[in-house]
Amino acid sequence: MMAITLDGFVARRDHSLDWLMKQDTKGEDHGFSEFLASIDVIVMGRGSYLTVRGFGAWPYEKPVVVMSKSLSQNDVPAALHGKVEITDLEPLAVMEEMEKRGWTRVYVDGGAVVQSFMRLGLVRDFKLAIVPILIGDGIRLFGDLPADVDLRLTETKEFPSGLVEMRYCVV
């Protein structure tokens, strides 16, 4: 589940989500709590982790695994011990580790991490919330792929705010 701008960005180059925070969704329920309840673990990259950590209160009750070559477990604040784990494993090894733990429904978050999982064919389905804003530059959700990825649209939902949610399965 990812929010993206209409021009396809998940964040600004500096990982800022200011464009998302200023959207007036008029109290609409976009199902994020329901979505989180359906997953076992969140896997994200360093940039997403640092951005979310900067929000103040940690928003996740599910375990979070941060993929990073530059961070270590020593970089996790004491308040997040037991909630956040740092790994330097590659995507296939991360998925093998998640499976060993019995975690089969993995929420992959962050542009670079999503791209690496997509390139390896590790994404089965996704839900996009298209936010009605153009920011012109930033971090794309989908980068270069080695081949076409065929998708099947399984659900759409539009909201009065102009936000449109789409769910796709990889064919």
Its pTM surpasses 0.95: no
Q: What pLDDT score does 22 carry?
A: 76
DSSP-derived pairing of the beta strands 164-170 and 151-158:
antiparallel
Q: What pLDDT score does 5 carry?
A: 95
Q: Where are the domains of the chain?
A: 2-170
Q: What pLDDT score does 144 carry?
A: 81
List the Cα angle 146/107/166 in 5-degree steps.
75
Q: What pLDDT score does 88 carry?
A: 96
Residues present in the chain in total: 171
pLDDT per residue, tens digit, the chain (171 aa), is 889 999 999 989 988 888 988 777 777 888 888 889 999 999 999 989 998 998 889 999 999 999 999 999 999 999 999 999 999 999 999 999 999 999 999 999 988 899 899 999 999 999 999 999 999 999 888 888 888 999 999 999 999 989 999 999 999
As a whole number of angstroms, the distance between CA 150 and CA 152 comes to 7
Q: What pLDDT score does 145 carry?
A: 82
Of 66, 14, 60, 75, nearest in space to 45 by CA:
66
As a whole number of angstroms, the distance between CA 76 and CA 157 comes to 37
Any idea which fold 2-170 has? Dihydrofolate Reductase, subunit A (3.40.430)
Of 48, 35, 54, nearest in space to 107 by CA:
35
